[in-house]
Amino acid sequence: MKQIPFDASFRWLAGLLFVAGSLVAPLGAAQESELKDETGKTILKYVIEVPPGIAPAGVTDPAKQVGLILCSQEHDTPTGNDLFPVRQSLLRQGILDNYVLVAPAPQGRKFGPDDHLTIEKLIAWAKKTYPINPRRVYMYGKGEGSKISMEFTMTHPNISTAAVGYSWGAWLMPSEVKEPLDFANSAPEIYLTLGRRDLENHLSCVRDAYPRLKAKGYHLIYREFDELGDRTYHPVSNDDALSWATRLRNKNIAPSAEEMKLLKAFNGAPPAAVDGYYPTLALVGGAPAGAILQKLFESKDANVRLAAAQTCKHGIFGDATVAALTKLVSDPSVRVRQSTIRALAMYANWRYEAAQKTLIQLATDQSADPMDRLNATDALGYAVRLQVKGVRQDPPMFKALVSLLGSQEKEEPVRSTAAGILAPLYEHSRQGTQRRRTPEGGWEKWLDEITTTDMGALKSYEVCGLGKASPGTVYPGNRGSQEPVDLFCMGGSALMGYNLGTGQQAKVDVASAFQYTLKAAEQGYVPAQAAVAMLYANGRGVQQNYAEAGKWWISASEGGDLMAARHAWNLYRNGEGQPRNPTIANQWAKVIGEPVQVPRANRPPAPATTANPPNARPAGSNP
């Protein structure tokens, strides 16, 4: 792929809506363009960046088509304010010339539901104006731009493939009144990032959104970074998020006729690999290309299997392909195994479960080839590198790494690798006798803590047998009783698609899950009150309704559920999905140890500042 020169990356197109033609302005001189309807009325304003030498609109050759990334900014910042982090990331990855970047302006001060239609029109216009591949449309945003990116993506899965959000949460989600969403095969995916140096309100808002999005069921990657503040320029997360998003293809849009031609070329003997992989499969991407890869994994030719495994590093092809790829960790070819493990490292980093489970199994299998175990351990290190000092979304990978530290581990390279991966958890640049060997309290305590944190509200279902069901034990939900705890467990089984007490698989039934949980909540069972609040908030088995969610969160809070109290506090403080109510918010702020909001008119005046505050060093003085 041709890398464009650095100075060519700063391309700002400005002017009114001329279907053809554009004006290039210097960096920092971004001007808004206006998208107008047929009567000349302005639909919305926007800023756009287009690669030089782009093919004309309507081109059908997939290699000449480009992706589209909408970059939405925080309120009260210029339109296009968050284009540059996306641009720089794509430039670092060498794929900038494959994407049109466009930043919409909100209808009002902030993005809201009224912007969904105008953004939809902007995307439709871009598809008519540039050679956009409709399977490659993505959303990126900061603050209110994060909110619109995630909410538009969730409610328009036939348009947006994935959303990357920074510094604010999302509330509006599609309701699942009768049938559940298919999160593996049709729902979009989300990457949410928070800087721990961000504003306090942003910290609590994003941390409130994370468990709601997780409970909804989306494939969700969530990161927190110590060094990140209230901006989105952050190369580590930018590159990880955009490398992930741009490998995805819309699950609801079938490949074009031209893309199908590229896939049909593999009906017989596969074409020769290019640079060690099959770029046309990576270009088409998604489950359709994955189906081809699954067949190539079974080829008798080791070189074909190797190229197929290498191709997985260049695209995301669906859960079924990841599961099929895992079988190659036992391939007779060393090179195939090595390439497979590296591809699984990438997928495990982006939280694809089959990849994580396979790497865990291989790394901890003392009967496996020592080099394969070392490679798998190293792959686990890659997969947890952004979680080690952040949010530990995947405790099983950490548990596997901790298990490799013990004296029973015979391979010193494996043990040393695991130790090096985990060291940032407990080492703080101390030397000598001050150095630690484990987190405070030991590894078992630490693993219990991160597992409990990751479970969140699901821990309430342990009474039903979740995570610890033992043969012969009859758990609530299987006792033929209508007691509140039994109803709660029956609701949990219907929600998760398997009997929590026996492990027997069943169909996900969101409508029954809601009804069982509601009945238990109405009888005063506190965990059910918190659970039914989340079902209302996420629209699972019922129409999304934050007013009802708020009522039930308060009921659970009054029953002593501090997690519910935090949700209630965030809901009534931020006024997202429900009008602000400082009285209710402050009531629960006191319970959970958060500051009480004081109306601006009642706040004491800020202290007067002086040129040299007490204990300050005068300007220009020496230390």
Contacts of 215 (CB under 8 A, 6+ apart): 456, 457, 534, 538, 540
Handedness of CA 302, 304, 307, 309 (dihedral sign): negative
| pLDDT score, position 598 | 74
Give the span between the Cα atoms of 105 and 108, in whole angstroms.
Answer: 8
| Intra-chain end-to-end CA distance of the chain, in Å | 53
pLDDT of residue 613: 35
Determine contact, residues 482/491, Cβ cutoff 8 Å.
no
The Cα 311–Cα 281 span in angstroms is 7
pLDDT tens per residue, range 568-577: 999 999 888 8
Positions of the chain with pLDDT under 70: 1-30, 428-435, 599-623
Q: How far is CA 484 from CA 515, 518, 525, 561, in A?
A: 12, 10, 6, 17
**pTM, entire model:** 0.91
CA distance 44 to 32: 10
Give the β-pairing of 189-195 and 162-166.
parallel
Residue 546 CB neighbour total at 10 angstroms: 21
Considering Cα of 7, then 13, then 15, then 18, what sign does the dihedral take? positive
Q: Look at residue 472 in the predicted model and tell me its pLDDT.
A: 83
Q: Which of 209, 199, 292, 284 is nearest to 250 (CA)?
A: 284
Question: Which residues are 137's β-sheet partners?
Answer: 68
Token output for 194? 């928070």
Amino acid letter at 33?
A: S
Angle between helices 302-311 and 334-349 (to 10 degrees): 20
d(CA 226, CA 228) in angstroms, rounded, equals 6
In whole angstroms, what is the distance from residue 316 CA to residue 322 CA?
8
Beta bridge partners of 132: 66
- Residue 421 to residue 401: CA distance in whole angstroms: 8
Distances (CA, A) of 439 to 227, 290, 378: 21, 41, 21
Nearest to 160, CA basis, from 182, 142, 138: 138
Yes or no: say if 372 and 341 are a contact pair by the CB < 8 Å rule.
Answer: yes
- DSSP assignment of 188-241, as one string? -EEEEEEETTS-HHHHHHHHHHHHHHHHHT--EEEEEETT--S-S--HHHHHHH
Specify the pLDDT at position 599: 66
Q: Using an 8 Å Cβ cutoff, are 238 and 89 in contact?
A: yes
Contact 141, 71 (CB under 8 A): yes
CB-based contacts of 474-477 (< 8 A; 24+ apart in sequence):
474/501, 475/500, 475/501, 476/501, 477/501
Instruction: Give residue 621's pLDDT.
Output: 32
pLDDT of residue 600: 57
Q: Is the dihedral of CA 400, 402, 407, 411 positive or negative?
A: positive
What domains lie within the chain, and their CATH numbers? 6-245 (3.40.50.1820), 258-451 (1.25.10.10), 468-596 (1.25.40.10)
Q: Give the model's pLDDT for residue 429.
A: 59
Say whether 421 sits in a helix, a strand or coil: helix
pLDDT of residue 410: 85
Residue 369 CB neighbour total at 10 angstroms:
15
Q: What is the pLDDT of residue 22?
A: 35
Q: What angle do CA 397, 402, 407 make, to 5 degrees?
A: 145
- What's the pLDDT at 586? 93
| Residue owning tokens 């392909």 | 321
* 542 neighbors 514 (Cβ within 8 angstroms): yes
The C-alpha atoms of residue 617 and residue 609 are separated, in whole angstroms, by 15
pLDDT in tens, 119-171: 999 999 999 999 999 999 999 999 999 999 999 999 999 999 999 999 999 99
